[in-house]
Amino acid sequence: MERGPLARDITQLNRYTMKTITLAVAAACLGLAAIGGQAAKVTDQVSNNPLLEEWDTPFGVPPFDRIESEHYLPALRVGMEEQSAEIEAIVANPEDATFENTIEALERSGGTLAKISVVFTEVDGANGDDITRETASTLAPEQAAHYDDIVLNAALFDRVNAVYERRDDLDLSAEQRRLLDETYKQFVRAGANLSDDAQARLREINAELASLSQTFQENLLAETNDFELLVTDENDLGDLPASLVALAADEAKRRGHECECWAFTLHRPSINPFLQYSPNREMRKSLFIGYAKRGDNDNDADNKTTLARTVQLRAERSALMGYKSHAHFVQSDAMAENPDNVYKLLDQIWQPALRVSKQERADREEMMRADGIDDQLRGWDWRYYTEKVRKAKYDFDEESLLPYFEVNAVRDGVFALSTKLFGLQFERRTDIPTWHPDQQVFEVFEADGSHLGIVYMDFFARESKQGGAWMNEIRTQSRLDGEVTPIVTNNFNFPAPSGDSPSLISMTNAETLFHEFGHALHGMFSDVTYASLAGTNTPRDFVEFPSQVMENWMKEPEVLRLFASHYETGEPIPQEIIDKIKASAKFDQGFKTVEFIAAAYLDMAYHVLDSTEAVEPRGFENSAMTDIGLIDEIIPRYRSGYFAHIFSGGYSASYYGYIWAEVIDADAFQAFKETSLFDAETAARYRTEILSKGGTRSGADMYRSFRGRDPQIEPLLDRRGLN
Ligand SMILES: [Zn+2]
């Protein structure tokens, strides 16, 4: 399930990649180039910088009470210098390369940089200011260069390669072997194996791709901001909920309209409710088309040339690296392994989903006829008549759920679930420094009372926080040089309490809380030697599995009864509401699945190309969608011109990963349903074989150890009502 604009809900890159790349990812997501702000007053503060001192705090957490935004840049630069010196020492070692003096030494290098950059990434996202933003954009190129200097250091790669060539004679443990393989792979995937000429071309390609990605993002922002739909007749708002009407009125004022009117934009929280509730068909059409044509208007902000060039360069780069296509290159490092496996999965879900979406179309068409409209159902009609069908079938008002989902009650719900499954205990700590007074910090204990880790929870939206929800590890578990226990964070954008009213969150937000806590458990249960293989450092199409699986529990009546009580009366959630939640779970899933999978196919179509000839995106997309038999009333969740996940985010040839992880989570949850929801033995096996293993084994191997077989697709089809 996607969380936030670019779904950045987890940092999951390899450790010394992470040091350099998460900053760039965070910077890209924040659209830093577009943020002005005064130039940061960055002092050259190296002495008296708490980031560079020993952290004399409970559990060695960062001393947030003493860290100022100015401290990050100089400290991170010290961290880079330190690592460069450490790398130089590895290369200068007169002894032959060994696992210890090269692979482990590399793993140890950059300790200071790693320690500080994860804290910086978290704080910049969760409580950033002009200085942290400026720091992030200043650092992005410096860190990219620093990373290149490591992975393209020929003498260093020679040593890594020397160890790798003797890998079968070294008597390594399974985890050591994995570290060696992953380290070697990281160098090779960055181009270390290439000739000087090829490396030079690779650097050119990477630089051009980075700037194309930036252009794509800027064009998309311009196209999105350029559009507005101004409503002046209240009747055109239909049954739009009062809170959204108020938001639209604010938006109109913000845009300088002095009338009694309401402005709607192409941002999803604005467009979807309008399409759902407005009876004005012409207005729905204008908004829908405005959204769907972004980046494809043949104007200055058109994205077609940009994305065609991106696709072309990616094909050239993958050929340079010895792969058949960009998708082959990307997926060789994923659980899916190759495009054949991805297509196999997508095809199995596509046919049933398409069939169900055609039934849904018939229902909505009938509703439209009843409304007196004698025309073909269109894309801009779908959500409007879906809402009418939903009302007629389920009469289910999501607002009526809110009083049962007070944020601290939901938090206690996920804690209670963790106690039932794993025996964990939680204790609130108020002696631990935080980066914002809203934060809650908990010490987590094992069933036997021993310390497991620390979790920071930061629930509420505020100006200084980026959108969406995410988890971070601000200290990764390891035991290379003594036991290091994990420190993790969960971040959300829930409505803050105001006055006497507490923070009441929607069911979707409650799911998000369970989701992020699944990532937190993955980080905290890590039980490995090497930090770069710990916790959530697993492939992207696997890492969402431990989080998504938690969403299953949340909607089960037994779990709802653990925590969902009325915040004023204490009355437990009524059975009638539980029944409605259950009954509506499969509603509109044909549409939702089809729009998602269509986008996944589109991503694949661009990235399995093995020719470097430029495509013409409009025709290319049309024919890709005709090939799969997409119906006219549904468009892909993202069309080419605004598919930021794949053209300016990190999800190229990876968009399928969301549904891949969902197949696994549905099948894994089935293991509990086959025994009992809180079955201790299944939970222990899940912890041992999956949650504790980090990236020390392949996703497929871990899953087989847990389930005794490969994941099956039926539980997902069942859950979505597609069979
Ligand atoms: Zn997630």
Task: Using the predicted structure, report yes or no on whether residue 423 has a pLDDT greater than 50.
Answer: yes
Residue 349 near residue 601, CB atoms below 8 Å? no
How many whole angstroms from 293 Cα to the centroid of ligand 1?
29
Residue 335 near residue 699, CB atoms below 8 Å? yes
Residue type, 124: D
Characterize the bridge pairing of strands 262-264 and 425-428.
Answer: unpaired
Characterize the bridge pairing of strands 487-494 and 470-475.
Answer: antiparallel
Q: Quick check: helix, strand or coil at residue 350?
A: helix
Residue 157 near residue 187, CB atoms below 8 Å? yes
| Closest by Cα among 233, 325, 311 to 279 | 233
| Closest by Cα among 189, 178, 336, 331 to 695 | 178
How many whole angstroms from 148 Cα to the centroid of ligand 1?
28
- For residue 591, what is the DSSP state? H
pLDDT given at position 261:
95
Percentage of the chain beyond pLDDT 70 is 94
How many whole angstroms from 91 Cα to the centroid of ligand 1?
38
Q: What is the C-alpha end-to-end distance of the chain, expressed in Å?
A: 21
Residue 27 pLDDT grade (very low, low, confident, very high; cuts 50, 70, 90): very low
- For residue 43, what is the DSSP state? -
Characterize the bridge pairing of strands 451-460 and 487-494.
Answer: parallel
- The residues pairing with 504 across neighbouring beta strands, listed in sequence order, are 406
Q: 473 — phi, psi (to 5°)?
A: -100, 115
CA distance 118 to 337: 29
How many whole angstroms from 515 Cα to the centroid of ligand 1?
6
List Cβ neighbours of 300 (8 Å cut-off, separation of 6 or more): 222
How many whole angstroms from 608 Cα to the centroid of ligand 1?
26
List Cβ neighbours of 223 (8 Å cut-off, separation of 6 or more): 266, 294, 295, 297, 301, 641, 642
Size of the chain, expressed as the number of residues it contains: 723
Task: Using the predicted structure, report yes or no on whether residue 22 has a pLDDT greater than 60.
Answer: no
Task: Name, of 11-20, 41-50, 66-75, the range with top average pLDDT.
Answer: 66-75
Task: Using the predicted structure, report yes or no on whether residue 18 has a pLDDT greater than 50.
Answer: no
CA distance 530 to 107: 8
Residue 652 pLDDT grade (very low, low, confident, very high; cuts 50, 70, 90): very high
How many whole angstroms from 324 Cα to the centroid of ligand 1?
30
Distance of CA 434 to the CA centre of its chain: 24
Judged by average pLDDT, the poorest of 20-24, 71-75, 426-430, 639-643 is: 20-24
CA distance 55 to 62: 6
Tokens standing for 213? 């990605």
How many whole angstroms from 658 Cα to the centroid of ligand 1?
9
How many whole angstroms from 547 Cα to the centroid of ligand 1?
6
Task: Using the predicted structure, report yes or no on whether residue 26 has a pLDDT greater than 60.
Answer: no
CA distance 182 to 106: 12
Residue 400 pLDDT grade (very low, low, confident, very high; cuts 50, 70, 90): confident
How many whole angstroms from 466 Cα to the centroid of ligand 1?
16
Alpha helices in 321-378 (DSSP H): 326-331, 339-370
List Cβ neighbours of 470 (8 Å cut-off, separation of 6 or more): 3, 4, 8, 9, 10, 11, 125, 491, 516
Alpha helices in 608-656 (DSSP H): 617-628, 644-647
Q: What is the pLDDT of residues 178-203, one digit of tens each?
A: 999 999 999 999 999 999 999 999 98
Percentage of the chain beyond pLDDT 90 is 79
CA distance 276 to 385: 8
Q: What is the pLDDT of residues 441-455, one digit of tens each?
A: 999 999 999 999 999
Judged by average pLDDT, the poorest of 9-18, 442-451, 553-562, 599-608 is: 9-18
pLDDT given at position 4:
36
Residue 380 near residue 281, CB atoms below 8 Å? yes
CA distance 232 to 375: 26
Average pLDDT value for residue range 104-123: 96
pLDDT given at position 2:
37
How many whole angstroms from 544 Cα to the centroid of ligand 1?
5
List Cβ neighbours of 699 (8 Å cut-off, separation of 6 or more): 335, 538, 539, 541, 542, 545
How many whole angstroms from 543 Cα to the centroid of ligand 1?
7
**Which uninterrupted H or E stretch holds 184?**
helix 174-189
Residue 540 pLDDT grade (very low, low, confident, very high; cuts 50, 70, 90): confident
**Which uninterrupted H or E stretch holds 474?**
strand 470-475
The DSSP code sequence of 644-678 is HHHHTSS-TTTTTHHHHHHHHHHHHHHHHHHS-TT
The DSSP code sequence of 271-330 is HHHHHHH---HHHHHHHHHHHHTTT-SSSTT--HHHHHHHHHHHHHHHHHTT-SSHHHHH
Judged on CB neighbours under 10 Å (0-12, 13-18, 19+), 508 is exposed
Mean pLDDT of the chain: 90
How many whole angstroms from 208 Cα to the centroid of ligand 1?
30
CA distance 685 to 689: 6
Judged on CB neighbours under 10 Å (0-12, 13-18, 19+), 541 is buried
- For residue 50, what is the DSSP state? G
CA distance 509 to 532: 31
Residue 605 near residue 620, CB atoms below 8 Å? yes
| Closest by Cα among 612, 426, 381, 621 to 520 | 426
State how far the alpha carbon of 475 is from the alpha carbons of 122, 138, 517, 525, 581, in Å.
11, 24, 16, 13, 38
**Which uninterrupted H or E stretch holds 440?**
strand 440-445
pLDDT given at position 44:
64
How many whole angstroms from 126 Cα to the centroid of ligand 1?
16
CA distance 154 to 146: 14
Q: What is the pLDDT of residues 510-528, one digit of tens each?
A: 999 999 999 999 999 999 9
Q: What is the pLDDT of residues 428-439, one digit of tens each?
A: 999 999 999 999
Average pLDDT value for residue range 597-604: 98
Judged by average pLDDT, the poorest of 50-54, 213-217, 496-500, 686-690 is: 496-500
Alpha helices in 371-435 (DSSP H): 379-394, 407-422
- The residues pairing with 453 across neighbouring beta strands, listed in sequence order, are 444
Task: Name, of 9-23, 233-247, 670-684, the range with top average pLDDT.
Answer: 670-684
- The residues pairing with 229 across neighbouring beta strands, listed in sequence order, are 264
What residues are annotated to the active site? 516
Characterize the bridge pairing of strands 451-460 and 440-445.
Answer: antiparallel
How many whole angstroms from 43 Cα to the centroid of ligand 1?
36
How many whole angstroms from 469 Cα to the centroid of ligand 1?
8
